[in-house]
Amino acid sequence: MAHQIGIVGGDGIGPEVIAQGLKVIDAAGVELNAVHYDLGGNRYARDGLVLTDEIVDEWRGLDAIYLGAVGTPDVPPGLIERGLLLKMRFDLDLYINLRPFSCGPDTANSSTVFGPDAEFDFVVIRENTEGAYAGEGGFLRKHTAHEIATQGSVNTHIGVQRCVHFAFELAMERRKHVTLVHKTNVLNFAGDLWERTFNTVAEEFPQVTTTYNHVDAACIYFVDDPFRYDVIVTDNLFGDILTDLGGAVSGGIGFAASANIHPGMVSMFEPVHGSAPDIAGSGKANPTAAILSGALMLDHLGEHQAAERIRAACSNPETLKGSTKEIGDMIAARL
Ligand code: ATP
C-alpha cells in the first residue's frame, strides 16, 4: 500500500534536492502517495501564509513529511524558522531529532578530518521540544539601560525520559552503548534531572553500557576521537551545536541527514542544510543529504530494506560527481 506523504520542497535548492530524493525512493520500489504543500519564504512573500493549524491537522493524518529547505534572504530572520519549522515540531510533538554520522568506504561520506579510510558510525539523539528552545523567558525594561532578558531551559521528567528511552531502544539495535552529553557540573538543576532520568532508564537496559561526557569534552572527542561513540543523547541546545560539529567532521553539509520523529506518528525528514540561495538554480546542490533523509523516512515507514539499499547506493561519493540531477540519476540507476 502506498504511504501517505506530505512534500514541502520549500525554497532555493529545497525543491531541487527533494525531486532527486523522490526519484530515488521510486527507483527503490517504494510507492508514495505524495501531497505537495507550497510553503516557505517564497509562499510567505506572495500571500503572507507561513503555516496554518488546518494544514497541521491535515498532516496528522499522513505517515510522514519530506521537507527540502525553507527560507529566503528577503524574509525577516526567524519568521519561517519559528512559524514553520518550530511550529511543526511543537504542534506534532516531534520530540526526537535524530542525526546519523557515519564515515568510511561503504558510506556516502568520507571524514573531512580523518580522511577517506576512517570509519565511524554514531547517531545523535537530540531532545527536540524543550530546553532553551521552549520559548520560556522574556524582557523587563526593554530598550532601557536596565534591560533584562531571561531565557529559561525547560526540562520535564516526561520529556527527558521519553527521549532517553528512545536512545536506549536505538542502542539495542546497534552496538549497545549510550553516551549522555550535558553540563551537569554547572547546570546543576537541568543536568541533575537529565542524569537521574538517564540512570533510571539505563536500569531497564542492562545489556547497554553507558558513559557521560560534559558537552565541552564531547566537542573535543568529536574532532579527536569520534570512533568512541555509538548513540549520544543530549538536550535541545547542546544537540543543535554538537550535530553541526558532527556534520563538519563527517563529510560536510551536502551529506548530513536528519529526522524529526514522534514514534508511531507522522514525523518529518529533512536534510540539515538550508535553502542555499547562493547556488539555487545552478545545479550545484548535492542531493545526497536529501536522499539519505529519504532513507530515514523509509526506516520510519517500516521499509528498512529499501532504506538500506538507498544508503548503499550513496556509497563511494567520489564516484558520484556531477550536477544535482546527474547525482540523483546515478544513485537511482544503482538501485
Ligand atoms: P539555514 O540557516 O537555513 O541552515 P544557512 O544560510 O545557514 O541556512 P545553507 O543554506 O545550508 O546555510 O548554506 C550554507 C553554505 O553551504 C552555502 O554556501 C551553500 O551554498 C552550501 N550548501 C548548502 N547545502 C548544500 C548542498 N546540498 N550542496 C552543496 N552546497 C550546499
For the beta carbon of residue 301, count every other beta carbon within 10 angstroms: 20
β-pairing verdict for 96-103 and 3-10:
unpaired
Tens digits of residue pLDDT in 192-220: 999 999 999 999 999 999 999 999 999 99
Rounded mean pLDDT, 259-286 = 97
Ligand 1 lined by 254 (C-beta under 6 Å): yes
Report pLDDT for 77. 86
How many angstroms separate the alpha carbon of residue 68 from the centre of ligand 1? 12
The DSSP call for residue 84 is: I
Rounded mean pLDDT, 119-141 = 96
Q: State yes or no: pLDDT of 111 exceeds 90.
A: no
Cβ(269)–Cβ(297) under 8 Å?
yes
Distinct helix (H) and strand (E) counts, the chain: 12, 12
Q: Where are the beta strands (DSSP E) in the chain?
A: 3-10, 32-36, 64-69, 96-103, 120-127, 137-140, 148-151, 177-182, 209-214, 231-234, 257-261, 267-271
How many angstroms separate the alpha carbon of residue 146 from the centre of ligand 1? 38
pTM: 0.94
Looking at ligand 1, which atom is closest to the CA of residue 70?
3
Report pLDDT for 66. 98
Calculate the CA 89 to chain-centre distance: 11
Mutate to test the pocket of ligand 1, among 255, 279, 292, 320 (most ligand atoms within 8 A of CB): 279
Task: Report the Cα–Cα distance between both ends of the chain, in Å, rounded.
Answer: 20
Q: Is the dihedral of CA 89, 93, 96, 100 positive or negative?
A: negative
Mutate to test the pocket of ligand 1, among 75, 81, 82, 253 (most ligand atoms within 8 A of CB): 253
Protein residue with least CA distance to atom 17, ligand 1 = 276
Ligand 1 lined by 286 (C-beta under 6 Å): yes
User: How much of the chain exceeds pLDDT 90, in percent?
Assistant: 88
